Amino acid sequence: MSQHLHSFGLQNTILFKNVEFTVPKGLSVFYGLNRTNGRKSMQANGAGKSSLWSSVGETLYEEPIVGLKEDAVKQGTRWTRLKIRGKDVKIVRKNSKLEIEIDGKPKQFRKKSDAQKWLKKHIPLSQTEFNTYAYLDARVPHPLVMGSSTERKRFFNEAFGLDKIDVERRLFEAELSKLKRTRAAYRELRAVFDADKDKALSKDRRLALESKVKSYEEELEELQRKNEKIQIIQQVLVFERSATKEIRAFSTLCPNLEEFSSLCTEVEKNLKENRKKLKDAQAWEEYQKENRKYNKAYSALSEDTKDLIKDLGLKKALRRCRESADEYQAVVEELEKHRRILDKTVQKPEELGGKYPKLSRKELKAELESLEHKLEHAEKFGTGKCGTCGQDVKIKSPKKLKLRIAEVETDLESWAEIEDYETALAEYREWKKQVRVAETAIEGLEARLKKLKKYRKTGKELRELPDAPEKFEGLKLEVDVCQRMVDEDREQLRLLEFMQPNLDNVAILRKLTDKQRQSGSLAPQIQQKINDIHEKMSKLRAKLEVNSMVCKQLKRHRERLLEMKEELKEEEALRLLVEAYSDKNIKRDAVKAVSSRLMAEVNKYAKSIFPEDFDFEFKWESSKVQLLVNRRYREGKKTKVVTSDVRKLSGAESKLYTFVLVLAHLTFVPARKRSNVLILDEPDSNMSGETTESFKRLLPILHKVIPSIIVITPRTSERYEGAQEFTVLKEKGEARIVKGHPSTVK
């Protein structure tokens, strides 16, 4: 079964605040219990049971079973879960919004209409099918039971697919009509093809035009070669005017163009050598400058510093000064530390008078705790046992206990003063010890500091002394002379780099004659000839292009004509099919076969359900459709038959017949199109006890086809054997589902 209704729910709707229900298998009966008028009320109507189950159809199709589209509930959230082709599909409507989840993941849609199209495509049952054999509302008559001939025809065609015969006939007619248009288009295209054929050039005429175009192309090529030569000479003369100075200098530097490459190499080599000489000259000049600076700084040193350098050398002297500076700083810090100790003053605590308590501090605390407990007992109890600890109460004098408590507390205070005195005395003794150590250390540190001071000045002079320049090993040249040589080489190299891309122009200039210099005056005449030939060629090529387009169009028309000719071969066969399908006997025979089988199924179930001897038959004559019931009565030894349309059945009989008809109809419905649940909304309303029993006999038969059957009943006195019972309970304007019969609801 491709569609399986699993569960549904309502939140914050008109009656239901939060309801969720999973559809059980088997027969389930829903009763109503409306306690709006009091907790003892057994009112069955108005509880919301039909509203509860009708939410399933409204969630799936957005339209109510009874009423118009605008009557559908839109308040709050309604959802229905289905199993469709093995996937868990949850359809949610929040107010007017539609959301769909597949296996717990939201499916995204650009707009609501896209979601509705998805539902229509993937839910196997249409709304008409759902209302026909998934949800039967007692207020909605079945089209075959109470409908007119037109309504019965429409239902019969849709339910059993008989309208496909008319659809196929219309398809064949549409194809035949299309081929008629194709034949008209074929004639029209043939006329166009013949007209285009007259426009095409003959082969000889086309070859003559192509030959003329070729001769023009050759003449044009020759003129363009001449024009290009003149353009080159003009470009060379423009170069000459723009670079006269450079051309003159280049002629002096490079009279022979074949030597250009070797000249470039030579100039680059000279530039490299002269740059090296310039670098040596700059290094020599820098050495002299640094050496003068060092000698001047060395002369300004003190004699102590010079002696230290002579004794140890510059590097060792610097190291000695750095070490002395570090030691000097450490000595200063240590000296400051000891002086802070001397600056500090700690007073010796005054000695305590009196004697120490006999008991220790711990013993006094234990005694105080015991005395306080005894005092509490003495004040609280007379004789007997303590209600807290269960001990025998021995009463002592509270006055004596309080005196002893005061003595113990005084001893504890004495111990606190003793401890404070001993702590202060220890601090004083430690300070006196540190003072003696500091006085001894300060004397030695001051002597050491005096020795280290002389290295501070020497270290400062050495740090400010610039590094002595290393011995110069290069050539001792003049910077001005070397710079001039480098500048000359750079100028020559720039000239060569400028002339390198223009060597062809220079070569042409050196060979250019006076006549060639005057050739620029011929350029306008040659250009005019080129323009004239271009114009003549354009006209000829336009004619050839038009002819080419005509030939391509003729080819396309020829191919299309052949396609149309192939399509028109089916015209006669389609005409015969349309004639065959126009015969109404085909549809009449189909109706006869389907209705015969349907009535056989109906009568099979009717024999065991209806309390009287009824049988049913179907008649479709021209525009009149009848569902007849034959009632058989015994009058003496004879059987009387009364025949009427099923519209004449009583209300209860009409409902019973509807259920039998739906059961028979389900035998025509494939398994993939069936629902797993059949909801019967108040099927037993207005039924007599005997008719209700007949209805109950039908339910086990329905259950063989439909796994889950839901009966919604207003009759709390009616019980269904083996059914699961549920009650929709309404209290204080809110409804909920309670398991069990209304009589068991507390």
Residue type for 151, please? E
Q: Which helix (H) or strand (E) holds 698?
A: helix 689-705
pLDDT on residue 309: 79
pLDDT on residue 722: 92
Same domain, 220 and 115: no
Residue type for 140, please? V
Domain of residue 529: give its range. 203-242+518-555
CA nearest neighbour of 278 among 102, 478, 536? 478
168 part of a folded domain: no
Confidence of residue 391 (pLDDT cuts 50, 70, 90): low
Measured CA to CA in angstroms, residue 688 lies from 6, 349, 611, 648, 653 at distances of 34, 115, 12, 18, 10
pLDDT on residue 1: 41
How many Cβ atoms sit within 10 Å of the Cβ of residue 3? Answer: 22
User: Cα torsion at 734, 737, 743, 744 (round to 10°)?
Assistant: -120
CA nearest neighbour of 630 among 664, 652, 657? 657
Q: Can you list the alpha helix ranges (DSSP code H) found in 453-522?
A: 454-464, 479-499, 503-511, 514-517
50 part of a folded domain: yes
Q: Can you list the alpha helix ranges (DSSP code H) found in 200-259?
A: 203-242, 244-253
Positive or negative, the CA dihedral 688, 689, 690, 694 is positive
Q: Which helix (H) or strand (E) holds 196?
A: helix 163-199
Statement: residue 374 has pLDDT above 70: yes
Q: Which helix (H) or strand (E) holds 420?
A: helix 398-452
User: For the segment 120-170, what is each residue's pLDDT rounded down to a tens digit?
Assistant: 888 888 888 888 888 998 888 888 888 888 888 888 777 776 666 666 667
Structure-block tokens of residue 311: 């004794």
Q: Which helix (H) or strand (E) holds 319?
A: helix 314-343
203-218: average pLDDT = 88
637-642: average pLDDT = 85
The rounded distance, in Å, linking the Cα atoms of 200 and 192 is: 13
Same domain, 57 and 90: yes
Contact 140, 66 (CB under 8 A): yes
Contact 736, 53 (CB under 8 A): no
Contact 482, 278 (CB under 8 A): yes
User: For the segment 688-729, what is each residue's pLDDT rounded down to a tens digit?
Assistant: 888 899 999 999 999 999 999 999 999 999 999 999 999 999
Same domain, 383 and 444: yes
Same domain, 618 and 721: yes
pLDDT on residue 582: 61
Q: How many domains does the chain have?
A: 4
The rounded distance, in Å, linking the Cα atoms of 185 and 535 is: 41
Count of all residues that appear for the chain in the document: 746
Q: Which helix (H) or strand (E) holds 726?
A: strand 724-731
Strand, coil or helix: what is 13? Answer: coil
327 part of a folded domain: no
| Cα R_g (the chain), whole angstroms | 61
328 part of a folded domain: no
456 part of a folded domain: yes
Same domain, 26 and 64: yes
Same domain, 527 and 503: no
pLDDT on residue 392: 58
- For the chain, the average pLDDT equals 84
Contact 26, 147 (CB under 8 A): no
Give the angle 658-660-661 at the CA atoms, nearest 5°: 60
97 part of a folded domain: yes
Statement: residue 507 has pLDDT above 80: yes
733 part of a folded domain: yes
151: domain CATH number? 3.40.50.300
pLDDT on residue 192: 83
* Terminal Cα-to-Cα distance of the chain (whole angstroms): 40
pLDDT on residue 167: 66
pTM above 0.95, yes or no: no
Same domain, 102 and 26: yes
166 part of a folded domain: no
Count CA atoms within 13 Å of residue 158 on its CB side: 14
pLDDT on residue 677: 94
User: For the segment 511-569, what is each residue's pLDDT rounded down to a tens digit?
Assistant: 888 777 777 677 788 888 888 888 888 888 888 888 888 888 888 888 888 888 887 77
Statement: residue 621 has pLDDT above 80: no
406-416: average pLDDT = 82
The rounded distance, in Å, linking the Cα atoms of 144 and 129 is: 14
3-state helix, strand and coil shares in percent for the chain, rounded to the nearest 5: 65, 15, 20
Same domain, 447 and 360: yes
